[in-house]
Amino acid sequence: MDEERINPGHSGTRIVLRTIGPLIALVGLGLMVFGLVDFFRAFGGSGPPRYFWCIFLGMPLLAVGGILTKLAYLGKIFRYMAGETAPPMKDTFNYMAEGTREGVKSMASALGQGLREGGFVAGSQTTVRCHKCNALVAETAKFCRWCGQAMGKSKPCPQCAEVNDPDAKFCDNCGYKYG
């Protein structure tokens, strides 16, 4: 353990604190539970609560035990925050990032592709608007996937030969009114 190497003099004290701290907290908790159980049992009719004081003894014990435990682990937390554990963590992170980068990249592009084809990304060159329901449809689609409207311009103008939308009422080019 690098702990002893860094702080040899304190490790003994810390081990004692780590053992005694939780132990005191545990005893305190036990006393509190014991006192509470006795207190509630007294309500059930088995006479006045005789061990109610256990709660008041257990409470400070739990607090002291908690503080001791906290102190025991404080050094560990400080060292952790100081970044002594950072290098191996960084390596792990880099390793993971290296492995996932390609995956994320291909996933993102696949997602983008899917969004474009699904008509969820506006202004994309691979989609056109359905002239009936205004939904974005893949440029290569023959029919609108949302309303079934035939896609592409298929209505030639008899006046100027401009090909208009299949549901056009007027010619885009000359304004000819379809009967």
Provide the binding-site residues for Zn ion, judged by CB under 5 A: 130, 132-133, 144, 146-147, 149, 157, 159-160, 162, 171, 173-174, 176
* Residue 143 DSSP symbol: B
Q: Please say which residue, 86 or 133, places its beta carbon nearer to Zn ion.
A: 133
Q: How far is the CB of 150 from Zn ion (least distance, A)?
A: 10
Cβ distance to Zn ion smaller for residue 109 or 159: 159
Shortest distance (Å) from residue 179 CB to Zn ion: 13
Is 172 in contact with 162 (CB distance < 8 Å)? yes
Buried b (16+ CB within 10 A) or exposed e, 91-124: eeeeeeeeeeeeeeeeeeeeeeeeebbebeeeeb
In whole angstroms, what is the distance from residue 11 CA to residue 96 CA? 34
Least distance CB 116 / Zn ion (angstroms): 17
Cβ proximity to Zn ion: between 3 and 139 the closer is 139
Which residues, 6+ apart, have CB-to-CB distance to 2 below 8 Å?
84
* Min separation Cβ 113 and Zn ion, Å: 21
Tokens 């545990």 sit at which residue?
26
Nearer to Zn ion, 63 or 147 (CB): 147
